[in-house]
Homo-oligomer: A and B are copies of this chain.
């Protein structure tokens, strides 16, 4: 509806919108939408992170895609939903918390909007919850490879008060991948000391 679009501040050129909404997870959804905007005729209108309770210490998300045609908005959401299986591949959890890793060789508009990732460059992120694990992961990651540390989010800054520390990395593909892999190693190890062996429900892709 035009009244709704105007209230939400959407550009009127988007005659259709696509909605991706989740109780659990934000990183996987943003990375999946990043692929969707590369592959379809859609743009990212907004990305919001909820402090939901289903995901334990982490976020839920609400992502709005804009398109001029209904078929494009639908296609964008289809591509994103399909890619979610991949982007949940490096989320490891146990009763004590969770860690998450994401990597793309070429960041697009969703990663740019959500994380300030330079478009077209390799981008990675690591999440640790409880937050102290995230501090150790980011520290190990930036020591292990020559990456640009774009930013750090923590319970009071850049998150919706989630119990996470999140690091964002840009740079050469090999270096970003190395940083993320190092963060995964230290994160799985630390989270494992607080509970059972952290498991992913999917297939690691990084």
Contacts and interface: CB of A to CB of B under 8 A. Distances in A.
Interface of A: 1, 3-4, 7-8, 17, 19-23, 48-54, 56-57, 60-62, 64, 96-97, 130-133, 135-136, 138-139, 142-143, 149, 151-152, 154-157, 160-165
Contact of A8 (B17, B19, B20, B152): B152
B4 A138 contact: yes
A121 to B, nearest CB: 18
A161 B49 contact: yes
A51 B3 CA distance: 29
Given A3-B149, A7-B149, 7 more contacts: A23-B163, A51-B161, A52-B162, A53-B57, A64-B135, A155-B160, A161-B161
Contacts of A17: 135
A157 B49 CA distance: 10
21 contacts: A1-B142, A3-B142, A4-B138, A4-B149, A17-B135, A21-B133, A21-B163, A23-B57, A23-B97, A23-B130, A48-B156, A50-B57, A50-B130, A50-B162, A52-B162, A53-B53, A60-B131, A62-B131, A62-B154, A62-B155, A161-B161
A95 to B, nearest CB: 10
Contact of A49 (B48, B53, B156): B156
A60 B57 contact: yes
Nearest to A165: B62
Nearest to A63: B132
A56 B57 contact: no
B54 A54 contact: no
Nearest to A64: B135
B139 A48 contact: no
A81 to B, nearest CB: 12
Nearest to A17: B135
A155 B21 CA distance: 11
Contacts of A165: 62
